[in-house]
Amino acid sequence: MTFTADELTRIDHDDDGLAHVRECARHDVRFAFDRTIVSVRFADVEAAKLHRSRYRHMLSQGEPALTLSIAARGRETHFWIPGLAAYRWDRYVLAPHALSFLADAVATTHAFESLPDTIVLHAAAVASPAGVAAIVGTTEAGKTTTSLACTRRGLTLLSDEFCVRSPRGVIPFPRTLNLRRGGIELLANGAEPGIPLNGWVLTHRGADRPDVGFDELFGNWRPPAPGPLRAVFLVVGHDETAQARAATPAGLLPRILPWSRMKARGVDAARDLLELLQSVDCFDLTLGTPDETARLIARTLATAANPGRRLPDGR
């Protein structure tokens, strides 16, 4: 059964009216990013275990800046951030994995929208010593497969889902990855043993693999320091040959704005995102094979970090 966070209903609430959520949601999972700590509290112990596993590289014991509590009453499940927002799900009883998925969508959205001077793109983020590239696209655009292929070209994966650009630079968001069998097969084609990622994909072909940790894929992974955002790629399709065509910030803005999260709203949000795009190199990206696309991204990122060395035709 499929579902999306858009199917949650935002409800008017007073905090006293949701007291049962506070009382029932006793299983706490806390994670940290960009010096911000988020607490997600579940009534369902299995959902809490899944969430803790998903955020195992980001767990924290600090004081949370935002707390989301989730509890069910009959067929209704409430998602509640005291003093900020509440949501209701009443279509059917949610399984633990669905509770964790929806909790993640609510918690990250409100956390990202609470951070001053921070813009979050729905994008994979890969880094080199020269800077960071964001690969923006839909859930099934190929961001994860492409970003993992980039690590075979010497880049470092910061996240396959969120490019968090803060005043300190782009920070890692190492939530675990969900790898689909098709992406694993693409990465396995031509992979040779010798590095942890290749060994992992060669031994996990043929099935979807949820909740894969950075340590499983890369060995002794350590989060890098924040780096400057240098290039933004918007995935626009697939072809036999990978291509990166230069795009204008104004042309990219309306297509990327729906995939961004920030504290600003409306015209102010568009202005802030345009300012960000004007500070980087912008491209429409057509995906080829994962490794060919990764080589193109690595070359283009190196060029974006050194404006005097332009590659012909934006490639």
Per-residue pLDDT of the chain (315 residues; tens, 9 = 90+): 455 677 899 998 776 668 889 899 999 999 999 889 999 999 999 999 999 999 999 999 999 999 999 999 888 899 999 988 999 999 888 999 999 999 999 999 999 999 999 999 999 999 999 899 999 998 788 999 999 999 999 999 999 999 999 999 999 999 999 999 999 999 998 787 778 899 999 999 999 999 999 999 998 888 889 999 999 999 999 999 999 999 999 999 999 999 999 999 999 999 999 999 999 999 999 999 999 999 999 999 998 866 544 443 433
DSSP helix/strand/coil, 159: strand
- Judgement on whether residues 33 and 94 belong to the same structural domain of the protein: yes
Residue 203 within a domain: no
- Judgement on whether residues 154 and 83 belong to the same structural domain of the protein: no
- Judgement on whether residues 106 and 162 belong to the same structural domain of the protein: no
| Total number of residues shown for the chain | 315
- Judgement on whether residues 99 and 125 belong to the same structural domain of the protein: no
- pTM as predicted: 0.91
- Judgement on whether residues 74 and 165 belong to the same structural domain of the protein: no
- Judgement on whether residues 128 and 262 belong to the same structural domain of the protein: yes
- Confidence (pLDDT) at 308: 45
Q: What angle do CA 170, 257, 250 make, to 5 degrees?
A: 95
DSSP helix/strand/coil, 188: helix
- Judgement on whether residues 19 and 157 belong to the same structural domain of the protein: no
- Confidence (pLDDT) at 104: 96
- Domain stops at, among 64, 97, 112: 112
- Judgement on whether residues 138 and 28 belong to the same structural domain of the protein: no
- Confidence (pLDDT) at 220: 83
Structural domains of the chain, count? 2
Residue 207 within a domain: no
- Confidence (pLDDT) at 196: 87
**75 DSSP assignment:** T
Residue 187 within a domain: no
Domain that holds residue 72: 5-112
Residue with tokens 């994995």: 97
Of residues 190, 179, 195, the one with CA closest to residue 147: 179
- Judgement on whether residues 101 and 124 belong to the same structural domain of the protein: no
- Confidence (pLDDT) at 195: 83
Residue 154 within a domain: yes
Residue 194 within a domain: no
- Judgement on whether residues 60 and 134 belong to the same structural domain of the protein: no
- Domain stops at, among 112, 128, 151: 112
Residue 282 within a domain: yes
DSSP H helices, the chain, are 19-24, 45-54, 96-112, 143-151, 181-188, 196-203, 214-218, 249-256, 266-278, 290-305
Residue 11 within a domain: yes
Of residues 127, 113, 203, the one with CA closest to residue 172: 127
- Domain stops at, among 80, 112, 144: 112
- Judgement on whether residues 108 and 127 belong to the same structural domain of the protein: no
Residue 216 within a domain: no
- Confidence (pLDDT) at 95: 93
Which residues lie below 8 Å from residue 35, measured CB to CB, with a gap of 6+?
A: none
